[in-house]
């Protein structure tokens, strides 16, 4: 059985940045992702100024994928009856495949061990099972586990307290990289379209690449359409894709509206003694996050104890 100080599951912006910062501070970190890198990613591709400032504060603003990213500060909002152009804080349009790759490479420069094409699952005893493509499953122990595997994430499915709660009416995500901008869209503007069955965003990356992301009602997906669902939906919104345009789909994402059984800002700590230091530590975490702290009770890891230091409550949840 192998061990490390920290394992981060999910190598998107959240996971890769966490791994980078932890490794830069001297921690021994393993970073995993179920996909091969670089990989296509369903995303609108709009990096807000706040995010860019955060990258700059951590010496990540010079990533190659950001060097030529266009900056757009206007959004064209359209519905079936109205449209308007709004000025907004600047967004950088990014290719997530390249951006995420660059973040992972930055983390690896500080010694992060990256395991792509690796399915990571947290067991009830808080050991992590790692299954690499075509290889046998290995087990890894870590002092800290960070799960950042997104809405398709399955890393916590063996721990019932972290089950997904999916809104029955949650929309389905569709996306593609197009070789040309749809007709009627301004290359210097982000176009957002809303219809009765969902909405879509068009973000021009460069002259040969345009990001398209949509969220559609699940009932609409089940209806037969003329052509691929994304093309049919854009046509319904009034956009025309040139037949010569190449579309490289970035996959789908079912159930976009979802939460965990436990609320956000929860920190899972593998052991506790409930001494003064532990209590003080939990208070600091809860106060800083305005959230709750979950401890695993006892050496046998047989139940969860939730210490809600914000609301001054204690309960056994599993």
Average pLDDT per 10 consecutive residues for the chain, totaling 318 residues: 85 94 92 91 89 93 93 94 93 94 97 95 89 83 88 86 82 91 91 95 91 93 87 90 83 76 53 62 64 50 53 58
Q: Where are the domains of the chain?
A: 1-40+95-162, 46-94+166-258, 262-316
Q: How far is CA 230 from the centre of its chain?
A: 21
Class of domain 46-94+166-258: alpha beta
Helix axes 96-109, 13-24, angle to 10 degrees: 20
Residue range 306-317, pLDDT digits in tens: 556 556 666 655
Q: For residue 173, what are the β-bridge partners?
A: 215, 253
| Encoded tokens for 136 | 């046998």
Helix (H, G, I), strand (E, B) or coil at 124: coil
The region that residue 243 occupies, defined by phi over 0 for left and psi between -120 and 50 for alpha, beta otherwise, is alpha
pLDDT at residue 300 in the model = 40
What pLDDT sits at residue 164?
83
CB-CB contact of 216 with 171 (8 Å): yes
Beta-ladder partners of 194: 199
Give the pairing type, strands 304-308 and 292-296. Answer: antiparallel
pLDDT at 299: 44
Task: Give the whole-angstrom CA distance, residue 267 versus residue 304.
Answer: 12
Tell me if the domain spanning 1-40+95-162 has CATH number 3.40.50.720. no
Note whether 171 and 217 are within 8 A (CB): yes
pTM: 0.81
| Region at 62 (left for phi over 0; alpha for psi -120 to 50; beta for the rest) | alpha
Residues 6+ apart with CB under 8 A from 261: 160, 161, 162, 163, 164, 165
């Amino acid at each position: 059985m192998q061990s490390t100080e920290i394992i981060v599951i999910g190598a998107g912006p959240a996971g890769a940045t966490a791994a980078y910062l932890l490794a830069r501070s001297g921690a021994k970190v393993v970073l995993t992702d179920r996909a091969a890198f670089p990989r296509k990613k369903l995303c609108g591709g709009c990096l807000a100024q706040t995010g860019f400032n955060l990258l700059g504060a951590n010496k990540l603003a010079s990533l190659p994928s950001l060097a030529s990213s266009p900056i757009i500060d206007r959004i064209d909002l359209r519905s079936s009856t109205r449209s308007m152009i709004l000025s907004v804080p600047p967004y950088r349009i990014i290719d997530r495949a390249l951006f995420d790759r660059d973040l992972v490479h930055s983390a690896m420069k500080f010694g992060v061990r990256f395991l792509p094409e690796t399915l990571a699952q947290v067991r009830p005893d808080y050991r992590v099972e790692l299954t690499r493509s075509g290889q046998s499953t290995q087990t890894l122990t870590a002092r800290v586990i960070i799960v950042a595997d997104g809405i398709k994430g399955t890393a916590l499915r063996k721990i019932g307290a972290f089950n997904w709660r999916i809104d029955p009416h949650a929309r389905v995500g569709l996306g593609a990289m197009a070789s040309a901008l749809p007709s009627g869209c301004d290359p210097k503007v982000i176009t957002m379209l809303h219809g009765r069955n969902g909405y879509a965003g068009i973000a021009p990356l460069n002259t040969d690449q345009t990001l398209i992301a949509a969220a559609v009602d699940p009932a609409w997906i089940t209806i037969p359409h003329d052509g691929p669902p994304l093309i049919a939906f854009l046509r319904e919104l009034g956009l025309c894709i040139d037949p010569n345009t190449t579309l490289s789909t970035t996959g789908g994402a079912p159930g976009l509206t979802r939460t965990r059984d436990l609320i956000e800002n929860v920190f899972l700590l593998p052991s506790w003694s409930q001494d003064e230091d532990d209590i003080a530590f939990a208070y600091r975490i809860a106060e800083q996050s305005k959230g709750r702290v979950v401890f695993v009770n006892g050496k046998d890891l047989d139940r969860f104890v939730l210490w809600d230091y914000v609301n001054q409550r204690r309960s056994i949840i599993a």
